Amino acid sequence: MIKFKIPATSANIGPGFDCFGLAYSFYNEYSIEKADSMLIEGCDPAFTTKDNIFNVAFNKTMKKLGKTGSYHVHYKPTIPASRGLGSSASVIVAGCRTANILYGGKNKLSDDEIFQIASTIEGHPDNVAPAIFGGLTASTKLNDGTFYYKKYKVSNKLYFTVLIPDFKTSTEMARKLLPKDYKKEEAVTMISHSVLMIEALQSGDFNLLKTVCKDFIHEPYRKKLIKDYDLIKKRVEKNGDAVLIISGSGPTLLTISNDKNFYKKINLKGTKDNWLIKPLGLKK
Amino acid sequence: MIKFKIPATSANIGPGFDCFGLAYSFYNEYSIEKADSMLIEGCDPAFTTKDNIFNVAFNKTMKKLGKTGSYHVHYKPTIPASRGLGSSASVIVAGCRTANILYGGKNKLSDDEIFQIASTIEGHPDNVAPAIFGGLTASTKLNDGTFYYKKYKVSNKLYFTVLIPDFKTSTEMARKLLPKDYKKEEAVTMISHSVLMIEALQSGDFNLLKTVCKDFIHEPYRKKLIKDYDLIKKRVEKNGDAVLIISGSGPTLLTISNDKNFYKKINLKGTKDNWLIKPLGLKK
């Protein structure tokens, strides 16, 4: 048995819609070995079929390696599914890694080659990039069809806490909520906000962060899927010691603060859903 | 007589609308001295009146310094006006600097204090920031009303050439051409393009630059003010060895290439206006 782990990730991170991603020190752990036939176990039986993304990713990677063979994998997901924490990107990257570790031999694929395969399967590179490279990433698809990422180091003056509710949302549904058009002022503001959000996260400039961590693309529409959003946002941002954003397409919420103990102050009394408050380090 | 110089600048730089700015090693030079009454000379008489932005900037800075006094300034503009090369930002910054140099004494204002005053007068910080700090800048107005900038170092693998036509456009008119709304795909694409444009300019990654140096906010609308735009763009980008963008609100065009001698290949034969081809270094 060989073990490895892949981190949970948040895409978007406020103004970085379909571009930014952040990796946490919160992982799914996978135990793998070579086998005569494919077997996925430990997780929900719905995720153990041949058409599951883990197996799809494994097969795509094997094709790239020019190898044949199969595997057993055991994983008990600790990253909850359909919560906006990149669980599907994590599983895809794990499928790629499994093929690479078990069958790559001396010709193992590079992380960038795995990034290309996994992003193609996922469709977007924004969760895949931090799941592979850690840290804060900005990623996109280039004109030549390949995927590009840039990794940034996040200041250790900032503290991240996710609020995970006990309900799921689908990324597809969340995507359908977005409008067809945006006002000029909104589209223009996203430019400075996204560029300077990278700077705020790198430098830890919390005053800058509070101005630029405002999104007009998805949060005003997707918050409808989260009954407690307005209440929690008001409470979290009340004293100016944190910002609250939606992790990925939700429903997990993410607070960023310059106070290490901010998570202890988060008051979720009276909310309609049940929430888990989880302070998280970043995977560097 | 004390002499100083302020650089020409390009705002926007492709996807960085109302945010990015770039300073060139191409300057207006100002000669100043204390005097009993205000006198601006050397430039077009239209720019020598008391309500001229140079004098407005001087007075605002004197007020901040808590001083009274006047000046003579002589400058012969080499940065052409109303061409999208930041001539007004240059004049405003020069007015501020004049007060600071002549009357600042031991309590001279910092560059950041001058940046605040000049940005307030200009309304936007995007030309002011590079005019003061040089390099590539991203700037915005913060929630507390102050202006913020971040300076980046541009790769020396990239070469910049401005194409300056013999006609003027007004920023106000150019601003009115913009639509009220943008399609979702356009607004979303601007996020990755602007963030990764900073990276492309810093790293000199020309392949990345060619993907992300595409703007949907202003160029498709403002190009109508430049009769030769489509022809020049087609010729400049034909072989993939340069990108062409509008400098500020135009009508100056800017090419960015990874070929030091690209400016020699620019073919402007048959264009309807007269163009000056000017390769420029950056003010670091």
The pLDDT of B233-244, averaged and rounded, is 96
pLDDT digits (tens, 9 = 90+) for B128-155: 999 999 999 999 999 999 999 999 999 9
Q: How far is CA B281 from the centre of its chain?
A: 14
Q: How confident is the model at residue A171 (pLDDT cuts 50, 70, 90)?
A: confident
pLDDT at position B236 is 97
Q: What is the DSSP track for A170-214?
A: -HHHHHHTS-SEEEHHHHHHHHHHHHHHHHHHHH--HHHHHHH--
pLDDT of A225 above 90: yes
A56 touches chain B (CB under 8 A): no
Distance CA B142, CA B179 (A): 25
Chain B hits for A181, Cβ within 8 Å:
181-184
Q: With 0-12 CB in 10 A as exposed, 13-18 as middle and 19+ as buried, what is B247?
A: buried
B13 touches chain A (CB under 8 A): no
Its sign, for the CA torsion A226, A227, A230, A235, is: negative
B237 touches chain A (CB under 8 A): no
The pLDDT of A18-30, averaged and rounded, is 97
pLDDT digits (tens, 9 = 90+) for A227-247: 999 999 999 999 999 999 999
The pLDDT of A201-230, averaged and rounded, is 97
Cβ-defined contact of B190 to A186 (cutoff 8 Å): no
pLDDT of B171 above 90: no
Distance CA B69, CA B119 (A): 23
**CATH 3.30.70.890 domain span(s) along chain A:** 159-280
pLDDT digits (tens, 9 = 90+) for B111-125: 999 999 999 999 999
Token pair for residue A224?
A: 């409808």
Chain A hits for B143, Cβ within 8 Å:
210-211
Chain B hits for A194, Cβ within 8 Å:
191, 194-195
**CATH 3.30.230.10 domain span(s) along chain A:** 2-152
pLDDT digits (tens, 9 = 90+) for A134-160: 999 999 999 999 999 999 999 999 999
pLDDT at position B174 is 87
Residue with tokens 């300076």: B151
Residue of A nearest to B214 (CA): A143
Q: How confident is the model at residue A275 (pLDDT cuts 50, 70, 90)?
A: very high
Residue of A nearest to B195 (CA): A195
Chain A hits for B187, Cβ within 8 Å:
182, 186-187, 190, 217
The pLDDT of A113-134, averaged and rounded, is 97
Predicted ipTM?
0.96
How much is the mean pLDDT over chain B? 97
pLDDT of A98 above 90: yes
Token pair for residue B161?
A: 């050439």
What dotted CATH number matches A2-152?
A: 3.30.230.10
pLDDT at position B216 is 98
- pLDDT above 70 as % of chain A: 100
Query: How close does chain A come to B1, measured CA to CA in Å?
Result: 40
DSSP A254: E
pLDDT at position B172 is 86
Chain B hits for A207, Cβ within 8 Å:
142, 144
Distance CA A36, CA A269 (A): 52
Cβ atoms within 10 Å, residue A256: 24
Chain A hits for B192, Cβ within 8 Å:
18-19, 138-140
B273 touches chain A (CB under 8 A): no
Cβ-defined contact of B138 to A190 (cutoff 8 Å): no
Cβ-defined contact of A217 to B191 (cutoff 8 Å): yes
pLDDT digits (tens, 9 = 90+) for B122-135: 999 999 999 999 99
Taking a contact as any Cβ pair under 8 Å apart, which residues of chain A between 176 and 235 contact chain B?
A: 178-184, 186-188, 190-196, 198-199, 207-208, 210-212, 217
Query: How close does chain A come to B237, measured CA to CA in Å?
Result: 14
pLDDT of B13 above 90: yes
Cβ-defined contact of B19 to A192 (cutoff 8 Å): yes
pLDDT at position A172 is 86
* Mutation for A interface: B192, B207, B219, most A CBs within 10 A: B192
Chain A hits for B182, Cβ within 8 Å:
181-182, 184, 187
Spell out the residues 6+ positions from residue B207 whose beta carbon is closer than 8 angstroms to its own: A142, A144
Spell out the residues 6+ positions from residue A101 whose beta carbon is closer than 8 angstroms to its own: A2, A4, A32, A108
Judge whether B254 and B162 are in contact, CB under 8 Å: yes
A145 touches chain B (CB under 8 A): no
Cβ-defined contact of A195 to B195 (cutoff 8 Å): yes
What dotted CATH number matches B159-280?
A: 3.30.70.890
Cβ-defined contact of B191 to A15 (cutoff 8 Å): yes
Alpha carbon separation from B45 to B40, B79, B92, B182 (Å, rounded): 9, 16, 17, 41
Q: Are strands A20-35 and B39-41 parallel, antiparallel or unpaired?
A: unpaired
pLDDT digits (tens, 9 = 90+) for A33-69: 999 999 999 999 999 999 999 999 999 999 999 999 9
Cβ atoms within 10 Å, residue B267: 12
The pLDDT of A78-83, averaged and rounded, is 94
pLDDT at position B184 is 98
The pLDDT of B94-107, averaged and rounded, is 97
pLDDT of A170 above 90: no
Spell out the residues 6+ positions from residue A113 whose beta carbon is closer than 8 angstroms to its own: A64
Query: How close does chain B come to A157, measured CA to CA in Å?
Result: 19
